[in-house]
Chain A
Amino acid sequence: MRLELVKRGNPSKTLRFFSPLIGLALAVFTGAIMFAILGKNPLEALYVYFIEPLTELWSVHELLIKAAPLILMGAGLSICYLSNNWNIGAEGQFIMGALAGSIFPVLFTDMQGPIVLPLMLTFAIVGGALWAGIPALLKAKFNTNEILVSLMLVYVAELILDYLVRGPWRNPAGMNFPESVRFHQFARIPELMPADGRANWGFVIAILVAIALWVMLSRTLKGFEIKVLGTSPRAGRFAGFDAKKMVFFSFLIAGACAGLAGIIEVAGASGQLRPIISPGYGFTAIIVAFLGRLNPLGVIVAGLVLALTYLGGEAAQISLGLSDKVARVFQGALLLYILACDTLIHYRIRFVPTPKAQGSAADV
């Protein structure tokens, strides 16, 4: 028996919708097997992982806190991937955005008032975009591989953050802990419903940005340009689209989104800088982008799903003693399943008996 791919005449619309759901189902099934191997009751573990976090209001608030950066970065990365620009350094752009935005509450502590937060958001957007601008510039100017450069800059950004919170930005009154000062009230993103939970306006911002990017992609010429240059660079050239400008455009958008996500994280839930400010959001956002079909509206749903894996991972660690690494494995498996299922959109899969004589394969 051999597996053969047969190209479909037209990509299947039904499967385009269902393939991420099939992928998700397969990943959940794999998760159940993994729980069983780890010696837990799979059904109970699945309940703790995926259902329980949704049964309490405060927990739903936590979900929104984790979903905000994933949605923002996933939506930005979708623009990159649609235009065939492989930015995998959102994690670094997230950190640099958080650092640029934190300049005000950390260095200019005297500066208070309602102007601070808008300044922080602006600086974070610029900071993230500039950091993403480095691989874009190198790709456009020297044809340097953007995948490797953007990834290398993640490590550099992590080290810069580490240096700052242990060195010049360390809280002088913080008992030598590697932390910045706690942000003052004007530098914090307000909570949505403080009576019920910690979720803040960052989630609303994320949704608005995703919708704006969706409008751009589906309703404007720019969106068309992104898709044409991504699927057929040659056709794009004939249409007069500039591939080099697109490198900058897509990277800067993704970097701006990641920078915004970074400041939302530190000025929202955490309220200060620490040596590690992200549990790998920038890499999980890659999965979010693919699970969301590279469509910013799909990314909103996908961001909530992946946020649930973080939250469920924490819950399972506390109540079942399961390792927090389980969430990473689940996320990696999920992306692999989605990619495999995507094949079904463009190809029919056929099992053919291994032919004894090569010449007898007469059917086309």
Chain B
Amino acid sequence: MSDATLILIQAVLLTISTAATPLLLAAIGELVVERSGVLNLGVEGMMVMGAIGGFIGMIVTGNPYIGAVVGVLFGMALSLLFAVLTLTLATNQVATGLALTILGLGLSGLIGEPYVGRSAVRMPVLNIPGLTDLPIIGRLLFGQDLIFYISIALIVGVAWFLFRTPSGLKLRAIGDNPQSAHALGIKVIRTRYLAVLFGGACAGLAGAHLSLVYTPQWTENMSAGRGWIALALVVFASWRPFRILAGAYLFGAVSIGQLHAQALGIGIPSQFLSALPYLATVIVLVLISQNRRLTLINTPASLGKSFVPDR
């Protein structure tokens, strides 16, 4: 292969990775939430709040890292609201999650109005001497921004936590049967609070990635359904962390592929190409849900059901 081809492949892989990272982050957070038996449909709202939080933090301080932290905090703030309602007040999780998305989209639009059209400092790339210069995978694996490294670390960390630690076992037990877990003295509500806050932090970071790395600017509704695709990814991954990695990169490839196809002008109306990620989500959901055995084994048994401790 010529050098030019190598550089092209490397560039395409990099853009796929950039498109995949926010999906991956939001999905791995939601995976932990759902493993604890809570269905938070507010990912889209938390993500878009993370995007505006990250952007404001960056504009005010001039530092994209502080921006990312603010984005995480914005996501967590919204998830705390969800936790108080669904966990303390035992409200319907589906409806509350929807309300969270409506609120997040409205609130981010409102506080983001003065920031439309301003440009951001893109989060810098952190090179690792020696490794970054490896062919093809060098820049993909070792020449990216901090959020990318965090996203990969989170996949490994969550997999280790859920399946290799006592706390992870407890969290999964709560997701399957909170009554029994409660009877055994496991703190159901407290654990679920922590899980929901972790999910909010991840969604917030995913949003900050959108406004600080993917397209360093703020536009209203800039999450554009990615929060919902992340929710679908959790189902696609059948609640297993490493499958999130595969799913996110697959979706990243689809969305980048359709962008390239639009740029090349292959004669298909751009709207149909733009619809591809959403249609792919539907198709993937159908394929996965057809496999009853896979979904039955891995779906947290109490997903979406409120739990009120009877003291």
Q: Which residues of A contact B (CB under 8 A)?
A: 3-5, 7, 81, 86, 88, 138, 142-145, 147-149, 151-153, 155-156, 159-160, 162-163, 166-167, 283, 286-287, 290, 323, 325-333, 335-336, 339-340, 342-343, 347, 361, 364
Contact = CB atoms under 8 A, between A and B. Distances in A.
Interface in B220-276: 225, 228, 231-232, 235, 269, 271-272, 274-275
A325 B91 contact: no
13 contacts: A142-B286, A143-B290, A143-B295, A145-B289, A323-B113, A325-B106, A325-B110, A325-B113, A331-B106, A336-B99, A339-B85, A339-B96, A343-B89
A361 B311 contact: yes
Contacts, number: 140
Given A159-B271, A332-B99, A340-B89, 6 more contacts: A138-B286, A144-B282, A152-B281, A156-B278, A167-B269, A335-B99
B106 A148 contact: no
B107 interface: yes
Nearest to B86: A339
Nearest to A144: B289
Contacts of B100: 332, 336
Contacts of B107: 325, 328-329, 332
Interface of B: 41, 81, 85, 88-92, 94-96, 98-100, 102-107, 109-110, 113, 225, 228, 231-232, 235, 269, 271-272, 274-275, 278-279, 281-282, 285-286, 289-290, 292, 295, 308, 311
B289 A162 contact: no
Given A163-B272, A335-B102, A339-B95, A148 B231 contact: yes
Nearest to A151: B228
Nearest to A86: B94
A27 to B, nearest CB: 11
Nearest to A163: B271
B308 A152 contact: no
B218 to A, nearest CB: 13
Contacts of A149: 282, 285
Contact of B228 (A4, A7, A148, A335): A148
Given A159-B271, A336-B85, A142 B102 contact: no
Q: Which of B91, B102, B107, B275 has the most chain A CB within a 10 Å cutoff?
A: B102
A335 B95 contact: yes
A332 B103 contact: yes
A148 B99 contact: no
Nearest to B113: A323
A140 B132 CA distance: 50
Nearest to B311: A361
A149 B110 CA distance: 29
Nearest to B82: A336
Contacts of A151: 225, 228
B102 A287 contact: yes
A129 to B, nearest CB: 18
Contacts of B96: 336, 339
Q: Which of A7, A290, A339, A361 has the most CB of B within 10 A?
A: A339
Contacts of B91: 339-340, 342-343
Q: Name the prevailing secondary structure of the B interface residues.
A: helix
A332 B104 contact: yes
A145 B235 contact: yes
B228 A152 contact: yes
A3 B89 CA distance: 9
Contacts of A323: 109-110, 113
A-B pairs, top 6 by smallest CB distance, nearest first, are A328-B106, A332-B103, A335-B99, A163-B271, A332-B102, A325-B110
Contacts of A364: 311
A162 B271 contact: yes
A340 B85 contact: yes
Contacts of A283: 98, 102
Nearest to B108: A325
B245 to A, nearest CB: 20
Nearest to B231: A148
A226 B295 CA distance: 27
A155 B286 contact: no
A149 B235 CA distance: 12
Contacts of A327: 106
Contacts of B90: 5, 343, 347
Contacts of A330: 106
Nearest to A135: B282
Contacts of A329: 103, 106-107, 110
B106 A332 contact: yes
Contact of A147 (B41, B81, B99, B286): B41
A217 B271 CA distance: 40
Contacts of A81: 95
A145 B110 contact: no
Contacts of B92: 339, 342
Contacts of B279: 152, 156
A325 B95 CA distance: 21
A323 B290 CA distance: 46
B285 A145 contact: yes
A331 B269 CA distance: 35
A159 B274 contact: yes
Nearest to B290: A142
A152 B105 contact: no
A359 B91 CA distance: 29
B104 A144 contact: no
A153 B282 CA distance: 8
B95 to A, nearest CB: 6
A310 B289 CA distance: 39
Contacts of A333: 103
B96 to A, nearest CB: 5
B98 A88 contact: yes
B85 A328 contact: no
A145 B90 CA distance: 22
A269 B279 CA distance: 32
A335 B85 CA distance: 11
